[in-house]
Structure 1
Amino acid sequence: MIFFAFIFMAVAVINIIYPAFGWYMRYGWMVKGDSEPSDAYLLMSRISSIVVLVVFFIFVIPLLF
């Protein structure tokens, strides 16, 4: 369980630091040519990752310890 919590936190932090990576993994490979995620997508991806990480720390971390 702790391993999955660590993986979840690592993915959320990566998405906060470099949200374009998630876009490339999900949509980038489907697009031919040079395509980039929009600024709105990057902003919402960062905000949602921060919210998910805060909720994770509030509800899940106390259950692990």
Structure 2
Amino acid sequence: MIIIAILFILIAVLNIIYPAFGWYLRYGWMVKGDSEPSDAYLLMSRISGIIVLIVFLFVFLPML
């Protein structure tokens, strides 16, 4: 359970610090040529990463 928690935290932090990485894994490989994620996508990805991390810390971390 602790390994899953650490992995979850690492993925959330990666999404906060470098949200374009998730875009490249999900959509970037499908696009030929130069294509970048929009600023709105990057912002929403960071905000969702922060929210998920906060919820995880307050809900699941006390159970460990």
* TM-score w.r.t. length of structure 1: 0.98
Deviation sequence 1:31-54 (CA, Å, 0-9, x none): 001000000000000000000000
Consecutive unaligned residues of structure 2, counting only runs of 5 or more, are none
Q: Using the aligned pairs only, state the percent identity.
A: 72
Tell me the residue number matched to 2:46.
Answer: 46
Q: Which residue of structure 2 lines up, in the alignment, with residue 31 of structure 1?
A: 31
Q: For residue 20 of structure 1, what is the aligned residue in structure 2?
A: 20
Could you list the structure 1 runs, at least 4 aligned residues long, displaced by more than 6 angstroms after superposition: none
**Paired positions, count:** 64
**Structure 2 matches for 1:1-20, cutoff 5 A?**
1-20=1-20
Kindly report the root-mean-square deviation, in angstroms, between the aligned alpha carbons of the 2 structures.
0.3
When normalised by structure 2's length, the TM-score is: 0.99
Q: What's the offset of the Cα at 1:21? A: 0.3
Whole-angstrom CA distance in 2 between matches of 1:4 and 1:28: 27
